Amino acid sequence: MNLLLSEVAQATQRLADAGVPSPRNDAEELAAFVHGVKRGGLHSVKDSDFDARYWEVIARREQREPLQHITGRAYFRYLELQVGPGVFVPRPETESVVGWAIDAVRAMDVVEPCIVDLCTGSGAIALALAQEVPRSSVHAVELSEDALVWTRKNMEGSRVDLRQGNALDAFRDLDGQVDLVVSNPPYIPLTEWEYVAPEARDYDPDMALFSGEDGLDLIRGLERTAHRLLRPGGVVVIEHADTQGGQVPWIFTEERGWADAADHPDLNNRPRFATARRAMP
């Protein structure tokens, strides 16, 4: 075993002792980051090329600083995004949301679908949809100026229409014209603060995490926004906590102009996002 792989083994144990959820993965990712190689190429790093800065970044990860903040990048579907303080780090669970949304848009008999991403954050959802649904027009909104620093970096050169503003009032010019509304809004109850993983609680912006006593305050508002934006037959997709399964579909009721409200599981088979269709007149 070369020196670097030996150090990775030690780092894995240190991260595990610190409670890091994926110690081996993170130890290898940080080793690859510091040494400028792919994870699969760690064995090729010569002993003489070992960089002691590796232990500096391991110490940061031990303190539960997010891996993505240390490396400055996050991977989401086929994207590599720039992230850091002030913006929510995209999670793998949200990839299931985007996958469902892409399937839904492709199933529509629409040549150039119009898509709106509310609370876009890093831009992960909007950029993935723009990339994977190439004939779509994609619009995204973010309120936080701190987050927008990163959104603008990620969307530079893309065809996404990015705006700053409140998701509840956004895109009045698109009312009744949108085929798909998608959002990964804040949904953690304020009462759950102490149970949130340190990587999120201490580093992700509160604005992107918490939304009232039951976590559903913003989703209730977004229900009205989605209804305003969507054409009849258009679809909304909203992520929620796995503990909120069954609650969110009840916000999208027939009385409020919705049909086919349902919950869907993520890759771990936990309820992760709700969908509904704007009812036909």
Q: Which helix (H) or strand (E) holds 97?
A: helix 93-107
Q: Is 185 a catalytic residue?
A: yes
Q: Which member of 23, 33, 76, 88 is catalytic?
A: 88
Nearest CA among 93, 155, 92 for reference residue 122:
155
Contacts (Cβ under 8 Å, ≥6 apart) of 12: 23, 24, 27
CA dist 222 and 234 (Å) reads 15
Token pair 């399937």: residue: 103
Q: Is 2 a catalytic residue?
A: no
Q: Residue 213 is encoded by which pair of tokens?
A: 């006593």
CA dist 17 and 123 (Å) reads 34
Q: Which member of 113, 185, 189, 249 is catalytic?
A: 185
Q: Residue 245 is encoded by which pair of tokens?
A: 């399964």
Q: Residue 45 is encoded by which pair of tokens?
A: 């790093």
Q: Which member of 33, 154, 171, 184 is catalytic?
A: 184
Q: Which amino acid is at 49?
A: D
CA dist 149 and 168 (Å) reads 21
SS3 160: coil
Active site residues: 88, 184-185
